[in-house]
């Protein structure tokens, strides 16, 4: 009811905002409590913390998964596994070559370490020199007899 001596206040609503528009993005503002090894995902009125790959936990507390101890790595059987925060590294053992996930024996005969007048035979991680007929091994090369 209109009262002639009363002050009338008229408010025109020109712009309505939805909850999404009023939402504070805690992930961008830094007001979240996610662990440093977690990712923050904003949602209307809230946020979610999820531990990054190689970590486990509820997102507010994340711990490194030791893939080397748990056996969840994919290192070659002839490689060593080294854990690092959120990951791991595979390194082929001495005398082997590869990326740690695939390791093979280094072909030591490829550069002919036995020299002329000899043949090289790969033996696991070493080699053996055999002199051709008429030559004998002197400890470093084959010489004529």
Q: What is the pLDDT of residues 81-110, one digit of tens each?
A: 999 999 999 999 988 899 999 999 888 888
* Domain 19-64: CATH class, spelled out: mainly beta
User: Closest by alpha carbon to 134, among 118, 123, 145, 126?
Assistant: 145
Domain spans of the chain? 19-64, 67-105, 107-145
pLDDT band at 3 (very low <50, low <70, confident <90, very high): low
Look-up of token digits 């001596």: 5
The share of the chain scoring above pLDDT 90, in percent, equals: 63
What band does 139 get if pLDDT is binned at 50, 70 and 90? Answer: confident
According to CATH, the superfamily of the domain at 107-145 is Laminin (2.10.25.10)
Tell the burial category of 142 from Cβ atoms under 10 Å away from its Cβ (0-12, 13-18, 19+): buried
């Amino acid at each position: 009811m209109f009262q002639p001596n009363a002050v009338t206040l008229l408010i025109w609503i020109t712009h309505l905002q939805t909850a999404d528009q009023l939402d504070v993005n805690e992930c961008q503002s830094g007001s979240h409590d996610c662990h440093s090894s977690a990712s923050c995902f904003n949602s209307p009125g809230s946020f979610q913390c999820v531990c990054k790959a190689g970590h486990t936990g509820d997102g507010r507390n994340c711990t490194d998964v030791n893939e080397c101890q748990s056996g969840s790595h994919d290192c070659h059987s002839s490689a060593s596994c080294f854990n690092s925060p959120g990951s791991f590294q595979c390194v082929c053992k001495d005398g082997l070559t590869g990326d740690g996930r695939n390791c093979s024996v280094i072909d030591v005969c490829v550069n002919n370490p036995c020299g002329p007048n000899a043949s090289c035979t790969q033996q696991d991680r070493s080699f053996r020199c055999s002199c051709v007929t008429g030559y004998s091994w002197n400890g470093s090369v084959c010489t004529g007899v």
